[in-house]
Chains A and B, each alone.
Chain A
Amino acid sequence: MILDVLQVSVARGKARVVRDLSVQAQPGELLGLIGPNGAGKTSLLRALCGLEPLASGRVTYGGRTLAEIGRRAGGRTLAYLAQGGRIHWPARVDQVVALGRLPHGAAQVDAAVFRAMAAADVMHLRDRAAGALSGGERARVLLARALAVEAPVLLADEPVAALDPYHQLQAMELLRDLARAGTNVVMVLHDLTLAARFCDRLALMTDGTLLAAGPPAEVLTPERVAKAYGVTVETGVREGERFVLPWRRCDATPPVPQELPRS
């Protein structure tokens, strides 16, 4: 299902936090939404879910707006994973994941719930109370909850921010595989190497507008990263994949070169 964002603006108070932004996300594609804090990534993602009203522009899923799709069907069309989500009552993990089945009828622990728990590596937690999870475990349970919707579009706001390196890689592989299998995945992330390695396309936002969009190698040039984030990067290639390592603030005074001890 094609997600088409056409000249969208989002207002917060008098300020426009997203301005005339257009981008398209194709099924089978993992689209990474990157940019510095306050660039408007979360506002854009929330606007895509209908959580923020559009000041102007149009968002369509397979040619139809959310209003045309309808509230209940909208719940099956897109799955939204909020940033740093919380679980307010200490329900059992499988019951929490099953909440993703609500748009399909009832919150039953069905096959889709088991598929989601297996994919997010939380199967071993399924009998635990949500209150007894660590931050990373909770993030994976919430990812499983979003997967359980089995929607054609997944919008995830920093799904890997709370995860350790092992589970970050695992979650990125999972999201990429999900995209390969036909789901349209849009995710916000800050880790430039993960963005470069796993996303099919990147949309780099600054100050509410799109600075660049395209394949990671085209978007994550040192000049663009410096312009968007104000940092220099070290880049390299390992096992045929590119890594992008933020190194120094552009406005920082360069350190005095130190003599290396000779052995």
Chain B
Amino acid sequence: MTARAHPGHAALVAALAVLVLALFAGSAAIGYSTLDISAALADLIAGRASLPALVLSELRLPRAILGATVGFSLGITGAALQGLMRNPLADPGVVGVSGAAALGAVVAFYFGLSASFALALPLGGLIGAGIATAFLLMLARRGVATATLILAGVALNSLTGALTALALNLAPSPYAALEVVFWLMGSLSDRSLVHVALALPFMIVGWGLVLATGPALDALTLGEDTATSLGFSLSRTRLLVVGGAAAAVGASVAVAGAIGFVGLVVPHLMRPLAGNRPGRLLLLSGLAGAALTLGADIAVRLIPTRPELKLGVVTAIIGAPFFLAMLRRLKVEGE
């Protein structure tokens, strides 16, 4: 079999960036009320607090920004974790931070904090993610093997999942339980620029840490020993990938709930286009994750159901059959 020649990396990145921008504009333009987007934009830039300008800045823009950044976070961290573990089954969930972020938010919800203080949910999520990240980084600094680190993440995910289930079990009313379940499905509706401000710094730091590992992830194609002999530090690479994934995914889950599937599937779809090079895959996977999440969030609003479809549901419903159809062609290499 001859590997297909892959198009230029820069051209691919540019094409995906254009796609993300188009979907971003689409996401900002689409909503439940019609909005004259050019008038809104003009008002917004001129600083006029007109209704269209408010709809754009308070509703549409935060949603579009979070769609792009949450999707980018899931895509890039999924690619980095698969590269670090050299395992196509890894996804952002395996580091355990998403479960911890969800638990943090559920705890905030459960104790009624979110009723009195709207930002209690994302803050609870960030605190949960922070605790889990600290635990993982402590392990990584002690120099444990990658597999041990990931198993610790899986165990963390199970524990936080069980505690979340406990909270649901003991929920004071079925309505409270239902609200928690809905939140866990992941959504970008009714988020504000405050949510963006809370999550974005962590995400940007996370992206930076993960992108710095590109050459090391390339070298890991040949295994940990050979990568070390090529001058790369394994412990540093683990620290950067796990720390970066924890920051970006923790912040994502804290503001958007758990959006499954993007982090697992997008790296697989992009890997052939990256010439199977884990370092090149990072940016491509991030951009494709942003495009998929923005697209799914547009679909959420175009499909008129009551209550609104949850984003995590839609990404899985769109993504899973697509992934199944692609599987035959992807030739996933596994052990």
**A residues in contact (CB < 8 Å) with B:** 46, 49-51, 71-76, 78-80, 82, 85-92, 95-96, 99-100, 102-103, 106-107, 127-132, 142, 145, 149
How far is the CB of B23 from the nearest CB of chain A, in Å?
A: 28
A78 engages B229 (CB within 8 Å): yes
- Min C-beta distance of A141 to chain B, whole Å: 10
Provide the residues of chain B in CB contact with A46, threshold 8 Å. 225
* A85 contacts B215, C-beta separation under 8 Å: no
Is residue B1 within 8 Å, beta carbon to beta carbon, of the partner chain?
yes
A217 to chain B, nearest CB (A): 33
B277 near A95: Cβ-Cβ < 8 Å: yes
Residues on B close to A: CB < 8 A?
A: 1-3, 5, 86, 215, 218-223, 225-226, 228-233, 271, 275-278, 331, 333
Given A95-B275, A129-B2, CB of A89 within 8 Å of CB of B221: yes
CA distance A134 to B215 in the complex (A): 27
Q: Which residues of A contact B219 (CB under 8 A)?
A: 99, 102
Q: Is the CB of A72 within 8 A of B271?
A: no
Which residue of chain A is the closest to B228 with respect to CB atoms? Answer: A51
Q: Which one, A75, A96, A107, contacts B231 given CB within 8 A?
A: A75
For the complex, give the distance between the alpha carbons of A107 and B271 in Å: 17
Distance between Cα atoms of A86 and B1 in the complex (Å): 18
Known A80-B226, A129-B1, A129-B3: A92·B275 in contact at CB below 8 Å: yes
A75 touches B276 (CB 8 A): no
Q: Which residues in A have their C-beta under 8 angstroms from that of B275?
A: 91-92, 95
Q: Is the CB of B231 within 8 A of A71?
A: yes
Closest Cβ–Cβ distance, residue A65 to chain B (whole Å): 15
Q: How far is the CB of A146 from chain B (nearest CB, A)?
A: 9
CA distance A231 to B243 in the complex (A): 54
Residues in A neighbouring B230, C-beta threshold 8 A: 75, 99-100, 102-103, 149
| A221: min CB distance to chain B, Å | 34
Q: Are B233 and A89 in contact (CB under 8 A)?
A: no
Question: Which residue on chain B has the smallest CB distance to residue A129?
Answer: B3
Question: How far apart sit A99 and B223, CA to CA, in the bound complex (Å)?
Answer: 12
A90/B333 contact (C-beta < 8 A), A79-B229, A127-B3, A129-B3 known: yes
Knowing that A71-B233, A75-B230 touch, tell me 14 more A-B residue pairs with CB under 8 angstroms. Answer: A51-B228, A51-B229, A85-B223, A90-B276, A90-B331, A91-B277, A92-B276, A99-B219, A102-B230, A102-B231, A107-B215, A127-B3, A128-B1, A131-B333
Q: Are B225 and A102 in contact (CB under 8 A)?
A: no
Q: How far is the CB of A77 from chain B (nearest CB, A)?
A: 9
Could you jot down 16 A-B contacts, CB within 8 Å? A49-B225, A71-B231, A73-B231, A75-B232, A79-B229, A82-B223, A82-B226, A88-B86, A89-B278, A90-B276, A91-B277, A99-B219, A129-B1, A129-B276, A130-B276, A132-B1
Which residue from chain A places its CB closest to the CB of B87 in the assembled complex?
A: A88
Partner of B215, one of A86, A106, A131: A106
Whether B226 contacts A85 by the Cβ 8 Å rule is: yes
Q: Considering the chains assembled together, what is the distance between the CA atoms of A86 and B334 in angstroms?
A: 12
A96 to B228, CA, bound (A): 16
Nearest-neighbour CB distance to chain A for B46, whole angstroms, equals: 47
Whether the Cβ atoms of A99 and B229 lie closer than 8 Å is no
CA distance A91 to B275 in the complex (A): 6
Q: How far is the CB of A140 from chain B (nearest CB, A)?
A: 14
Bound state CA distance, A91 and B2, in angstroms?
A: 11
Q: Are A107 and B3 also in contact (CB < 8 A) when A89-B333, A91-B276, A131-B333 are?
A: no
* Chain A minimum-CB-distance residue to B279: A107
Q: How far is the CA of A80 from the CA of B223 in the complex (A)?
A: 12
